[in-house]
């Protein structure tokens, strides 16, 4: 099928905080990996958040593309849990409550999943209904897009969003995309695979 709008999502490369299994949200870390493969050297624009790790990753994956930075696509705001590990937080009552009810409860000085969903949807509304566009985003941001725009209803933790996976969402019509409807097709594949696997 020839889709009217295609949005391809990849996660940024690992940062030191990711490698140490810390909650890296709005902390503006650089990536730890410096020799990433080129995914496409012909596109002129790539969507990013306004944090360095997405822009730096995009510069390597798409070396000819100018970053189009949308702050609404930032990672979840972890508040007081920012840059901490599970081991540091596991005995914290507020942390345990948040883990059990992340949709309704926020980390102290952070945001709920519902707030993340709302913010990411606002980011999606800033995108044009282009034939094919690419985005380098955060794990939580990609999950929020998949929950709200995947072809079927799902939960945040249903999705595994690794640093080496790409998600390709496709809409049959420009109108469906512009109205914020769920995509028609979703494909998931390893980052370097030629043909993603359909998951309609």
Is position 120 within any domain? yes
Is position 52 within any domain? yes
Structure tokens at 151: 């072809």
Is position 174 within any domain? no
- Between the alpha carbon of residue 12 and those of residues 57, 60, 107, the distances in Å are 6, 10, 23
What is the dihedral angle through the alpha carbons of 180, 148, 103, 123, rounded to the nearest 10 degrees?
-50
Q: Quick one: CA dihedral 84, 30, 190, 142, positive or negative?
A: positive
Percent of the chain with pLDDT over 70: 96
- CATH number of the domain at 164, please: 3.40.50.1240
For residue 127, what are the domain limits?
Answer: 5-169+180-198
Q: What is the pLDDT of residue 33?
A: 87
The answer, as to whether pTM is greater than 0.85, is yes
Number of domains the chain contains: 1
> Is residue 57 a contact partner of residue 13, using CB atoms and an 8 Å limit?
yes
Q: What is the pLDDT of residue 34?
A: 83
Q: Quick one: CA dihedral 78, 12, 8, 187, positive or negative?
A: negative
pLDDT tens-digit series, residues 30-82: 999 889 999 999 999 999 999 999 999 999 999 999 999 999 999 999 999 99
Is position 149 within any domain? yes
pLDDT tens-digit series, residues 92-144: 999 999 999 999 999 999 999 999 999 999 999 999 999 999 999 999 999 99
Is position 144 within any domain? yes
The arithmetic mean of pLDDT across residues 151-175, rounded, is: 96
Is position 103 within any domain? yes
Is position 175 within any domain? no
Residue with the two structure tokens 């020839």: 2
């Amino acid at each position: 099928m020839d889709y009217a709008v295609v949005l391809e999502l990849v996660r940024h490369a690992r940062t030191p905080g990711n490698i140490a299994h810390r909650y890296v949200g709005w902390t503006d870390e650089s990536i730890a990996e410096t020799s990433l493969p080129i995914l496409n050297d012909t596109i002129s624009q790539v969507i990013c958040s306004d944090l360095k790790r997405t822009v730096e990753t995009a510069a390597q994956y798409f070396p000819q593309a100018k970053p189009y930075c949308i702050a609404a696509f930032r990672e979840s705001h972890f508040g007081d849990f920012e840059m901490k590990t599970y081991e540091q937080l596991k005995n914290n009552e507020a942390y345990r409550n948040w883990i059990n009810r992340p949709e309704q409860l926020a980390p102290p000085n952070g945001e709920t999943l519902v707030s993340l969903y709302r913010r990411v949807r606002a980011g999606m509304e800033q995108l044009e209904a282009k034939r094919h566009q690419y985005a380098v985003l955060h794990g939580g941001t990609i999950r929020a897009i998949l929950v709200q725009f995947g072809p079927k209803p799902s939960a945040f933790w249903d999705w595994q969003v690794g640093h080496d996976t790409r998600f390709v969402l496709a809409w049959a019509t420009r109108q469906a995309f512009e109205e914020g409807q769920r995509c028609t097709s979703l494909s998931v594949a390893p980052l370097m695979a030629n043909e993603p696997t359909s998951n309609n």
